Amino acid sequence: MPRVIVDENRCCGAGLCAQELPDVFDQGEDAVVVVLEENPPAELAERLEAVTFACPSGAIRLVRE
Amino acid sequence: MAPASSLPDLPRSRTHPFHPPPEYEQLRKESPISRFLWPNGVEGWLVTGYSEVRTLLADPRLSINRFNSPPPSVSVVKDRKPEAMLPRSLVAMDPPEHTPWRRAIVKEMTPRWARSMEPRIAAITHEYLDRIREAGQPADLVTDLALPVPSRVICEVLGVPAADQAFFQEQAEVRSQVGAPPEKVNAATTALYEYLGQLVADKRRTGNREDVLGRLVHAEIAGEPAPQDIVVGQAMLLLIAGHETTANMIGLGVATLMDNRELIADLADTAKGTALVEEILRMHAIIQWGIIRRATDDIDVNGVRIAKGDWVVCSLSSANRDESRYSCPHLVDPGQPQAPHLTFGYGVHQCAGQSLARTEVRVVLRELFATFPELRITVPVEELRYRYEMWVYGLYECPVVW
């Protein structure tokens, strides 16, 4: 499973990730993305890809090790 | 006088009120980034493909900054001063100036907060539905529901007295006309600016932090107190963008559902209703002439060289109909695989109020059809009056019976 990495400086606070996958992402101070689960379960793979694609600022990366 | 352009004219005639100009289909297939001459005599790139629009709107070399020469425009009004359109706000700022302002605003409008607003939006909707029932048939859904509900909601959120709704709706309407003479646009802008300036000054004086404008005027932006004139600019953006766009989407949503009545039942279920609203949003990218950027450097994209200083107009309505992304691009089909539509734009300027807008459209449509299940528009949808002459597309009126 991929590891979730976010770039807080790029984040523009749309919150689409936290809305779609609230167990993986949250919005912290100033609506900036917070990762709650860096290694999400395999069954979320497809939705993680979708959220990463939808992110308007390109702040989410999925890293496969 | 500038030499005559050899470029073709921008295609801009619709053949159906729900669909963008038919020429866009060929453009998407053959040349999704191509140069045209806009009606005001300015040349620019029109971007029509889904992936091209996304790529360019995410490119930091394209600036949204207030432009010092007239951008390509469908308005042929002489002496139109684009810089007079709005005081400085999010839509005139690039990063890094944009970033702290964006954060101060979007933290007030998260998806979680929008969900928490659902009961209040439903209650406001019912106030207007009750009035519609009392006044009897027929009703005009634009003036009686689609316009006042988002307008009331944004008033409450921002902390603008609801009693002044009619005033700012009128000014916003003038500013939305493609053909409005510049002196009228400037007068409307000045009236709004003075009104909001007073309101914001009062909130600062009284220490009011109970609403978005109150918190914004007391905020620190990049370590400095928020300058009041920019707070007023942001207030104007939020007030106008916060009601006009949503109002038009609600009207177009009702018209769309007339031809797709079997989908109305989806509104009762939150997940299905959400998917249906996404399809309505995809069908109707109401910023009908696209969004404008200017290249601050040479950009090579898909074999095309966009030169420094070139204008770039991204057609959201065309991107949303890209055949390579959607199996039924011109039909409302909540079951088709959902590539995220671009109605709210893309990149760091994506609509700050998108979560509120989604919730409002879904709740208003849901409560409307729950209250009047037999509701129908009194004329065929093709015969309604559409806002071809406005920056924000939609319906001028929507006569209904139930």
In a domain, B11, yes or no: no
Which portions of chain B are predicted below pLDDT 70?
1-3, 66, 79-86
Q: Which residues of A touch B103 (CB under 8 A)?
A: 13, 30-32
CB contact under 8 A, A53 and B340: yes
- The minimal CB distance from A31 to the residues B106, B345, B346 is found for B106
Q: Which residues of B touch A32 (CB under 8 A)?
A: 103
- The minimal CB distance from A27 to the residues B110, B345, B350 is found for B110
Interface test with A, best of B54, B110, B358 (most A CBs within 10 A): B110
At residue B80, the pLDDT reads 60
Helical pair B244-258 and B270-283, crossing angle rounded to 10 deg: 100
CATH of the domain at B353: 1.10.630.10
In a domain, B2, yes or no: no
| Overall number of domains in chain A | 1
pLDDT in tens, A3-52: 999 999 999 999 999 999 999 999 998 999 999 999 999 999 999 999 99
Dist CA B100 CA A11 (whole Å): 11
In a domain, B17, yes or no: no
Work out whether the CA dihedral B352, B360, B162, B185 comes out positive or negative.
Answer: positive
Q: Which residues of B touch A56 (CB under 8 A)?
A: 58, 345-348, 350
Interface test with A, best of B103, B118, B344, B358 (most A CBs within 10 A): B103
Q: Which two tokens stand for residue A15?
A: 């919150």
CB contact under 8 A, B106 and A16: no
Give the residue on B whose Cα is nearest the Cα of A31: B107
| Overall number of domains in chain B | 1
Q: Which residues of A touch B101 (CB under 8 A)?
A: none
Q: Which domain holds residue B218?
A: 23-401
In a domain, B169, yes or no: yes
Dist CA B302 CA B192 (whole Å): 43
Distances (CA, A) of B256 to B17, B165, B376: 11, 27, 11
- The minimal CB distance from B106 to the residues A13, A50, A58 is found for A13
Dist CA B282 CA B303 (whole Å): 28
In a domain, B5, yes or no: no
Dist CA A12 CA B354 (whole Å): 13
CATH of the domain at A45: 3.30.70.20
| β-pairing verdict for B43-47 and B62-63 | unpaired
CA dihedral of B150, B151, B154, B156, whole degrees rounded to 10: -110
CB contact under 8 A, B107 and A31: yes
A34 has a chain B CB within 8 A of its CB: no
At residue B338, the pLDDT reads 74
**Under a CB-based contact definition with an 8 Å cutoff, are residues A3 and A61 in contact?**
no
Taking residue A35's Cβ as centre, other Cβ atoms within 10 Å add up to 17
At residue B300, the pLDDT reads 97
pLDDT in tens, A51-62: 999 999 999 999
Q: Which residues of B touch A13 (CB under 8 A)?
A: 102-103, 106-107, 110
Closest CA to B391 of B190, B248, B230: B248
Work out whether the CA dihedral B277, B279, B281, B284 comes out positive or negative.
Answer: negative
At residue B323, the pLDDT reads 96
**Under a CB-based contact definition with an 8 Å cutoff, are residues B10 and B24 in contact?**
no
A65: closest CA of chain B, how far (Å) = 27
**Under a CB-based contact definition with an 8 Å cutoff, are residues B315 and B345 in contact?**
no
CA B261 to chain centroid: 25
Distances (CA, A) of B159 to B88, B237, B261, B364: 20, 14, 37, 21
Q: Which domain holds residue A28?
A: 3-63
B225: closest CA of chain A, how far (Å) = 16
A53 has a chain B CB within 8 A of its CB: yes
CB contact under 8 A, B346 and A18: no
If you compute the radius of gyration of chain B from its CA atoms, what whole number of angstroms results? 21
At residue B176, the pLDDT reads 87
Dist CA B347 CA B172 (whole Å): 26
Work out whether the CA dihedral B248, B253, B255, B256 comes out positive or negative.
Answer: positive
